[in-house]
Amino acid sequence: MSQAQALWWASESFWRKTAIWVTAVSFVVLIFLTFDTVKQITAGSKRVPAYSVINQRIEYKFDEKRNFQAPVIGREEPLFGKKLTEQEAEALVSHGKMTTQSKNCIDCHTLLGNGSYYAPDLTKAWLDPVWGSKESREEAMVEFLMNPQLVAHNGIGRKMPNLKITEPEARAVVAFLKWMASIDTNGFPANFKSIDQADAPAAAASAAPAVQPAPAPAQQ
């Protein structure tokens, strides 16, 4: 075909080559970026802290330079009052994560904003004001997870079913949630108002200003 010469840009062979090159280049770029990203999201990195971070206070504060909220790792505040080694912490968080998978939490909730939309996002569940005070939070979470159907927390009657979560599983889930709250998610969720984690007045006087006081949970 003499036309084929004139219309090189409409020819099959031109587009075949283009398709191969474009795909190959995109894929190679993706591989390079993936190496870097995987490094940056490996537990123990700056963005995704080591599991032993559950030994410390985790806050979510506005970062002036980045112009959004970011997790702040605070002073020592071990989960359930027991300081864990890195290995123990990983085992606990892992048990919690596995529980979230075997109970399909993500088919009602979102985690890091991904999943289902029938129930609240769990990214910062550890910091939610509904848990009351930071002293009662851990036990309140364990109790809730084991028997979520007992108390109504919202006006539309939607409840979380009892998923037969055992106490060790519930504690592990709380560890997982605490750890997840420490991940740097580039400011998602925005405008989140944390539970009050300030120290008692005497100790707090010298400390940096704490997060905003939590609004009273709108019960029922």
Partner 1 sequence: MADTSRFPGSTMNGGQKLAMKYFTVAIALFGAQILFGMLAGLQYLYPDFLFGVLDFSINRMLHLNAMVVWLLFGFIGSVYWMLEDESGVPVVGLGLANLIFWIFTLAVVAVVLVFLLVQVGAGDMKSIWLITEGREYIEAPRWADIGIVVCVLAFFYNVVATFTKGRFTNIAGVLIVDLVALAGLYLAGMFYTPNISMDQHWWWWVIHLWVEATWEVLVGCLMAYGLIKTMGVRRQIVETWLYIEVALMFGSGILGLGHHYFWIGTPEYWFTIGGFFSALEPIPLVAMVVHAVFDAGHHKMKSVNHPALAWIIAQAFGNFFGAGVWGFMHTLPQINLYTHGTQWTASHGHLAFFGAYATMVIAFLYIALQKWRGNVWMGGNLEGAWKWKWAIFLLHVGMIGMVMAMLISGYEQSQIERAIEGSSWMGYFAAQGHPWFIQGMYWRSICGAVFAAGFVLLAWDLLTIGKKEARPALALQGA
Does residue 95 contact residue 215 with C-beta atoms inside 8 Å?
no
Query: In terms of CB distance, is 23 or 149 closer to ligand HEC?
Result: 149
CA separation for the pair 163, 140 (Å, rounded): 17
Residue 19 vs 207, nearer CB to partner 1: 19
- Burial class for 19, CB neighbours closer than 10 Å (0-12, 13-18, 19+): exposed
Residue 114 is a binding residue for ligand HEM (CB under 6 A): yes
The one of partner 1, ligand HEM, ligand HEC, none whose footprint includes residue 53, by CB under 5 to 8 A per kind, is: none
Q: Would you count residue 219 as binding ligand HEM (CB under 6 A)?
A: no
d(CA 82, CA 77): 9
Contact of 123 with 113, CB cutoff 8 Å? yes
- CA 46 to chain CA centroid, Å, is 15
> What mask of x and - would describe binding to ligand HEC in positions 109 to 128, judged by CB under 6 A?
x--------xxx-x--x--x
Residue 158 is a binding residue for ligand HEC (CB under 6 A)? yes
**16 versus 158: smaller Cβ distance to ligand HEM:** 158
Burial 111-144 (b: 16+ CB within 10 A, else e): beeebeeebbbbbbbbbbbbbeebeebbeebbeb
Q: How far is the CB of 176 from ligand HEM (least distance, A)?
A: 20
Taking the least distance from each CB to partner 1, the nearer of 74 and 187 is 187
Tell me how far apart the alpha carbons of residues 195 and 214 are, in angstroms, rounded to a whole number.
5
Work out whether 118 is an interface residue with ligand HEM (CB under 6 A): yes
Cα dihedral across residues 127, 131, 137, 140: positive or negative: negative
CB-wise, 123 or 197, nearer to ligand HEM?
A: 123
What are the residues binding ligand HEC (CB under 6 A)? 99-100, 103-105, 107-109, 118-120, 122, 125, 128, 145, 153-154, 158-161, 163, 165, 173
What are the residues binding ligand HEM (CB under 6 A)? 114, 116-118
